Amino acid sequence: MSETSRDLLRLAGAVLQPGFEGTLPPTWVRRWLGEGLGGVALFGRNFASPAQVADLTAALRAERPDVIVAVDEEAGDVTRFETWQGSSRPGNLALGAVDDVALTEAVARDLGHDLATAGITLDYAPDADVNNNPDNPVIGVRAFGADPELVARHTAAWITGLQSAGVAACAKHFPGHGDTSVDSHVDVPRIAATRAELDGCELPPFRAAIAAGVQAIMTGHLLVPAIDPERPATLSRIVLTDLLRDELGFDGAVITDGIEMKAIATRYGLEGAAVLALAAGVDAICVGGDHADEATATRLRDAIVAAVAAGELPEERLAEAAKRVEQLAAWTAQARAAAVPDRLDGIPVGLAGARRAVRVTGAASALPLAAAPHVVEFEPPRNFAIGPETPWGVAVPLAARLPGTTAARLSAAEAAGDFHTAAAGRPLVLVVRDVHRYEWMGRAVATALAARPDAIVVEMGVPASVVGATHVATYGATRANGEAAAEVLAGR
């Protein structure tokens, strides 16, 4: 192999951030790191405990000291670091409901210290989307809210807090995934806003992120005709170079959302999407949520090299992308050395934030509960970002406070079942997630309330619909949100 070919392979490897299976790096990842792989992406399957993750990242750095170790950790319903127990922090919508930027910064810094201790250097967060469509199937509680100014100030605070702990932040999903009813894991969302509307709603949080010094921005697989009517943002030079680089002035690393997501992979293929993304201005390709194997990484690397050879991807553009990845790695090394050592050990800032977010509407006099209740949790389909393994709900923490609490979890197929017998003579608690989005859930809750108007409704999603005589909104379904709701129900 010629020196030129080896250089191209090294550059192509430098711009990849693949995932892998297991709680220790497989042989192929170790080998690739020695050959120039720029980073890796960790997913829930890679986490067993903080100590185990620290061992994993140490093994990665034994092969390449400056490797970027990334994770999709939003400290909310989307959690990888605490995937098997649920996040100990309240999530973005809860923080937006409190609207205390000092709290948001403190929660993000607290998370940053945990990630840094485990050897993670890049977090694919915060979610900077403005969730101005309550029917959004994939953002929802992941956003700080529906008001652009609120989202902007909390995005900036979150970035400041995380990066002060030595972990690079990555604002997503540019240019804004909030105003859509389509999940980009499944199909291409279309943002129908005019350019003026984008300037007033979707773009302010990203402007705030750039002003706050965010080190990376993640693209959204979104078609935004007001900017580029032909290609999704991830593959659009107009969006990523003309708008993000030239107009907004961002000079950090641009990273794709999962390149295997159907919004772009179905039409362009993994290899085609990766090449087009790099040509458009992307600096790093995230892959491995679904395709976590060496064969996929090889396909992408070889496709990038072939595109350079064919003149489809300028070598200068590939070299520029690899340079930005290198600069991001250098920033993380410097930031870890200068991290703010002011973590408040022993003070659960996440639970404190979740407590402040809880809102009770209606008959607050019905709380606390007079006896151990029967809890019915309605389980909606999980979106791909949250994943199926992360626990949620109120029943478990409530049972710890009120022994004798019983519970049932019902899906759409089971929601019409008779759960009133179990609640006879006892308080009834109905726990929902985004009840406004699911007709079956709304019907089941209405039927239950007709029979038991004293039932308490706990909404752990977006509280777009307030039902029941007593309504408790948590603004998220993390472990911390569940514990805060249980405290309100049982009396703290």
Catalytic residues: 185, 257
Q: Rounded to a whole number, what is the distance in angstroms from the first to the last CA of the chain?
A: 69
Largest Cα–Cα separation, the chain: 80
CB-based burial, 118-154: b 16+ in 10 Å, e otherwise:
bbbbbbbbbbbbbbbbbebbbbbbbbbbbbbebbbbb
Interstrand relation of 359-362 and 285-287 (parallel, antiparallel or unpaired) = unpaired
Please tell me the distance from the alpha carbon of residue 107 to that of residue 262, in angstroms, as a whole number: 33
Question: Which residues have CB under 8 Å from 7's CB, separation 6+?
Answer: none
Please tell me the distance from the alpha carbon of residue 440 to that of residue 412, in angstroms, as a whole number: 6
In SS3 terms, 139-190 reads as CHHHCCCCCHHHHHHHHHHHHHHHHHCCCEEEEEEECCCCCCCCCCCCCCCE
Query: If you search the block for the tokens 């030239």, which residue do you land on?
Result: 246
Task: Answer yes or no: are the C-beta atoms of 205 and 247 closer than 8 Å.
Answer: no
